[in-house]
Structure 1
Amino acid sequence: MQFIQMFDNKILEFIRINLHTPMMDKIVPIVTSLGNMGLIWIVIGLAFIANKKYRKYGFIMLCTLCIGALIGDGIIKPIVARARPFNFVENIQLLIKAPTSYSFPSGHTMSSFAAATIIYIANKKMGIGAFLLAALIGFSRMYLYVHYPSDVLIGCVLGITLSIVIYKIVSPKYDKKFNQ
């Protein structure tokens, strides 16, 4: 665990020293806000539901986002209870309001990669764009010092894994019920 913490701290320090610029300080909070409460992904899921061709994927995406929030925020975060990185750095100027929940795993990243995976399954071209946005949102969480790299990495893995599992379970049942 000490190795992971040391690795996390070195990456965050690299980002803070080498990548922070006044322009990035304005752009990154906007990027991270796209992932707030999974709202952009919920809107995309609802748009998918409104389109008959993508309805199944929208339904599965919204299911995945709800289950992911329950697992990530409701179960894993309270069990692991990892404090956020800004709590350990003196005089750090946060560019967003300090989150009050625990750090591990990154909910922004988990929901973003979960949704991006379903979008990719539905449409490869849209999925590539969704994965790029998910990666930017994940990076933004580290840039803003509200998540460690391992929080983001595990959020990514959990989001992708959860969406694939839910898709494999729900898709055949959805097809059986609605495509007879």
Structure 2
Amino acid sequence: MADFQFAVLDFIQNHLRTPVGDAVMPIITRLGNGGILWVATGFLLLVSRKHRKTGVMVLAALAIEYLLCNVWLKNAVAAARPCDLNQSVQLLIARPRDYSFPSGHTGASFAAVTALYLGKERYWYLALIPAVLIAFSRMYLYVHFPTDILGGIVVGAVSGFLAFGCVRLFSSWYGKREQ
């Protein structure tokens, strides 16, 4: 499996890297630092009464994803990053200090996308564009394996569904309490 993963990363390095990509991918990956793009999305949704529940869902999904991914799974699996195993690739960003699996940038992105979808936001699918770009940027920048990205997608989706369930449960409980 490791050979296949390095083959994918080496293909990206040898055939898809360009000067434009080298300039743009670090910017794209920074949008995912700390889930900042998605946290901002959640707070923007909170401003509108119509979208407030989805905003809560996005922020809850990000909190759940952070706990599952960054607090628990990364430390439990303790997987090395590709840039630690193959130091011959010149990194375009600072070497991350935490473990590799799963990708937190990808997890946060797909937690937000899942929450937007489940919240029935009309243009939820537009959030897939930065989510996919952020996920790809992590491989382009040689800091994540493909399985880290897939793991992040799964953890993100699960986090979105858990947030959806929690918000629905709380909404029904709170609604009954108000009556």
TM-score interval, normalised by the smaller of the two chains:
over 0.9
Q: Which amino acid aligns with 2:109?
A: S
Instruction: Please give the residue correspondences for 1:31-180 in structure 2 after superposition, counting only pairs within 5 Å.
Output: 31-177=28-174
1: CA distance between counterparts of 2:134 and 2:18?
Answer: 17
Q: Which amino acid aligns with 1:81?
A: A
| Cα deviation 1:38-69 (Å, max 9, x = unaligned) | 01101110111111011011111111111211
2: CA distance between counterparts of 1:172 and 1:107?
Answer: 26
Task: Please state how far the C-alpha of 1:169 moved relative to its aligned partner.
Answer: 3.0
1: CA distance between counterparts of 2:29 and 2:43?
Answer: 21
Q: Which amino acid aligns with 2:61?
A: T
Instruction: Please give the residue correspondences for 1:16-35 in structure 2 after superposition, counting only pairs within 5 Å.
Output: 16-35=13-32
- Whether the 8 Å CA contact 1:120–1:130 is kept in 2: the answer is no
2: CA distance between counterparts of 1:150 and 1:164?
Answer: 21
| Cα deviation 1:106-133 (Å, max 9, x = unaligned) | 0000000000111122345421111121
Task: Please state how far the C-alpha of 1:168 moved relative to its aligned partner.
Answer: 2.0
- Whether the 8 Å CA contact 1:56–1:171 is kept in 2: the answer is no
Q: Which runs of 5+ in 1 are unaligned?
A: none
- Whether the 8 Å CA contact 1:120–1:128 is kept in 2: the answer is yes
- Aligned-pair identity in percent equals 40
- Whether the 8 Å CA contact 2:61–2:162 is kept in 1: the answer is no
| Cα deviation 1:15-53 (Å, max 9, x = unaligned) | 111100001100111111100000110111011111101
- Whether the 8 Å CA contact 1:32–1:141 is kept in 2: the answer is yes
SS at match of 2:57: helix
Q: Which runs of 5+ in 2 are unaligned?
A: none
Count matched residues.
Answer: 177
Task: Please state how far the C-alpha of 1:97 moved relative to its aligned partner.
Answer: 0.9
1:6 to 3, 6, 25: 3
Of the structure 1 ranges 156-165 and 22-31, higher mean CA displacement relative to structure 2 is found in 156-165
Q: Which amino acid aligns with 2:58?
A: M
- Whether the 8 Å CA contact 2:62–2:159 is kept in 1: the answer is no
